Amino acid sequence: MLLVVGSIAFHFLSPWWFTPLASNWGAIDDTITITFWVTGAVFVAINLFMAYSVFRFRNRGENSKPAKYEPENTKLEVWLTVVTAIGVAAMLAPGLYVWNEFVNVPEEAWELEAVGEQWRWTFRLPGKDNKHGTSDPSFVNIDNPLGLNPNDANGQDDLIVMSNIVHIPIDRPVKVLLRSKDVLHDFAVAQFRVKMDLVPGLVSYLWFTPTKLGTYEILCEELCGLAHFTMRGRVVVDTQEDFEAWRDSQMTFAESMQIGPGDPIAGQSLYAVCAACHGPEGEGNVALNSPKLSGQADWYLRRQIGYFKHGIRGAHEDDVYGKQMAPMAAVLADETAIRNVSAYIKTLPEHRGDYSITGDSNRGRNLYVTCGTCHGLNGQGNYALNAPRLNGQEDWYLKRQLKNFRQGIRGKHPFDLFGQQMVSMSQMLRNDTDINDVLAYINTLPPIEPPLTNQVAEATMQGGR
C-alpha cells in the first residue's frame, strides 16, 4: 500500500505547469495556487493517514488484534466538518472575489467583437465613433459576412477584419464581445487565462488587459463540429503605435460594401501571361505542372494569387512548382488587377479535366465524408467555409497539394489563414493509398452544371467580395 504514497511524488516532479501569463489575470493564478496547495495538503494528509492505517491495522493472522467497536464519535465528526467548511470557505471566498472582477468590466475598456463560425474567426473593431453598429443574422450574405445592419449609421465606420488574426494594444483593458453565426464556439487564449462560449442568438463577453507583447493563439474550446480542432486564430498584442498602424489599414464596413465585382474585360489582357502555362481557356497543363483554373471560384483564385504575390504560398523551399508561380503572380500589379483577372477566369468555359489516378473509390467515399463537410458533398466548394471547389479539378494537382499540405510545404505560413486547417485535416490521409482512394472518389463525382440554383452553389460560382 505504500506504493500509493509513492505515486504522490509525481506531483512534485511533474514537468508541466501553466503557460506564462500574458494578461492582468494574475489573480486567477493566485486562486489556483491557493486551491492547489490546500487540496494538495488534504490529499497528502488523508492518503498518508489511510496508508498508515492500512499498514498498521492489517490482519496479521491469528494473533492480530480485533477491530475496535466504535459506531461514531460525534465530537471528531463535528470537528472535521467545521475544519472542512473553513477550508472550503477559504478557497471559495477569493474565487468569488475574483469572479466579481471578471463579471464587472472596467469602464475604460474598449470593445472588440469576435465572431465565430464553422470553422474560423473574424473580428470587428469600432470605428472613430467608438461604437459598434447593430447586427443580425438575417443581414448575412456574401458581401456582408458579419451581418451588420446596413442602415445603422453607427456601423458604417466599423472596421471589418475578415482574417483570423487580430491586433490589440498592450495595457488597455479590452472587452471582447462574442457572437456566433452558427453553433457554439469558445474563445480561449491560454495565456490570457479567461475563456467564454460564443452562443448563437446572444452576445457573451469577457475582458482582460494584455500585459505582454507577442502573438497568442486563439483556440475554439467548445465542440463545434467536425473541424473543431482546426478552428484557430491569433491575437497579436502590439504597442499602441503598431496597433494604430494596423487598425488604419483595415477596411470599414462602408468601404467593404462599395467594392464592385472585378472587370473581366480588363482581366482578359492580364490573362495573356497566365495562358502560356494554364492554357488559353484555363484548362491546365500537366506537362507544365499548371493546374486547371476554369470552373474554380473567383474568391479562391483571388486569395491564392494574392498569397503567391505576397510570398505566403510558394515560399517554402520544397514547393518547387509554387516557386515558379510566385514571380508570375507578382506580374499582377495590385489588388484590382487580381480581381480583374479572377473575374475573367470565371467567364472561361469549363473543360472536364483528365483523370489518371486509380484507387478504390468505395473506400474513398468513406474518407470523403470528412472532406465533403467543407468542400461540399459534390465537391462544389463553399465560400462560407473557405473551401475551394474540388469537383472537376485534375487529380494530379489535387494529389500534389494534398501531399504538400501533409508535409507542411503548403499552408504552414502564418498568414495563410486557412492553410493550417488543411494541414491539420490532411493528416487523416496517411499514405498514398488513402490519397489515391479519395481522389478516385472525387473523380467519380458528377460534373457541376453551371446554372445551379441553391445558394451555396451560387456563392461558389459568383464568388464573394
Partner 1 sequence: MTYVALADRGQELSHPKSFITKYIWSQDHKVIAIQYGLIAIAVGLVALGLSVTMRVQLGFPESVSIIDPSEYMQFVTMHGMIMVIYLLTALLLGGFGNYLIPLMVGARDMVFPYMNMLSVWVYLVSVIILMASFFVTGGPTGAGWTLYPPQAILFGTPGAEWGIILMLVSLAVFIVAFTMGGLNYVTTVLQARTRGMTMMRMPLSVWGIFTATILGLLAFPALLVSAIMMLLDRLLGTSFFMPAIVHMGEQTAYGGGSPVLFQHLFWFFGHPEVYIVALPAFGIVSDLLSVHARKNIFGYRMMVWAIVGIGGLSFIVWAHHMYVSGMNPYFGFFFATTTLIIAVPTAIKVYNWVLTLWQGNIHLTVPMLFAIGFIFTFIHGGLTGIFLGNVVVDLPLSDTYFVVAHFLMVMGVSPILVVFGAIYHWFPKVTGKMFNSTLGKFHFWFTFLGTYSIYLPMHYLGFLGVPRRYYAYEGIDFIPESALAMNTGITVAAIFVAATQILFFVNMIWSLFKGKPAGPNPWNATTLEWQTPQTPPIHGNWGPELPQVYRWAYEYSVPGADKDFTPQNEPPADVEVAAS
Partner 2 sequence: MITIIIFIFAAVGISYWWLLRQRVLEKPWLTEGTGVDRREDLASESPTAKTGLIVFLAVVTSMFSLFISAYFMRMELNDWRPLDEPGLLWFNTLLLILGSLSIHKCARSAANQDANGVKVTLLATGIFTGAFVAGQLIAWQQLNEAGYALRSNPANAFFYLFTGIHGLHLLGGLWVWSRTSIRVLAGVELEQIKLSVELCRNYWHFLLVVWIVIFALLLST
Q: What's the min distance (Å) between Cβ of 351 and partner 1? A: 27
Q: Which amino acid is at 186?
A: D
> Does residue 62 touch partner 2 according to CB under 8 A?
no
> Does residue 122 touch partner 1 according to CB under 8 A?
no
Single out the segment in contact with partner 1 by CB under 8 A; choices: 150-158, 188-196, 276-284, 441-449: 188-196
> Does residue 237 touch partner 1 according to CB under 8 A?
no
Single out the segment in contact with partner 1 by CB under 8 A; choices: 150-158, 191-199, 241-249, 277-285: 191-199
CA triplet 405, 411, 414: central angle to 5 degrees? 150
Q: How many residues in the shown chain lie near partner 2 by CB under 8 A?
A: 3
Nearby residues of 156 by Cβ (< 8 Å), 6 or more positions away = 127, 133, 252, 253, 254
- How far, in Å, CA of 125 to CA of 403, rounded? 38
Helix (H, G, I), strand (E, B) or coil at 263: coil
> Does residue 14 touch partner 1 according to CB under 8 A?
yes
- Contacts (CB under 8 A) with partner 2, residues 262-321: none
- Contacts (CB under 8 A) with partner 2, residues 323-352: none
Q: All 3 cell numbers of residue 150? A: 446596413
> Does residue 117 touch partner 1 according to CB under 8 A?
yes
- Contacts (CB under 8 A) with partner 1, residues 34-53: 35-36, 39-40, 42-43, 46-47, 49-50, 53
> Does residue 272 touch partner 1 according to CB under 8 A?
no
> Does residue 12 touch partner 1 according to CB under 8 A?
no
Q: Which is nearer to partner 2, 136 or 143 (CB)?
A: 136
Q: All 3 cell numbers of residue 463? A: 464568388
Q: All 3 cell numbers of residue 381? A: 466548394
The pattern of x and - marking residues 69 through 98 that bind partner 2 according to CB under 8 A reads --xx--------------------------
Cβ(377)–Cβ(404) below 8 Å: no
Nearby residues of 423 by Cβ (< 8 Å), 6 or more positions away = 405, 406, 408, 410, 411, 412
> Does residue 31 touch partner 1 according to CB under 8 A?
yes
The torsion angles phi and psi of 351, rounded to 5 degrees, stand at -110, 135
> Does residue 71 touch partner 1 according to CB under 8 A?
yes
Cβ(133)–Cβ(253) below 8 Å: yes
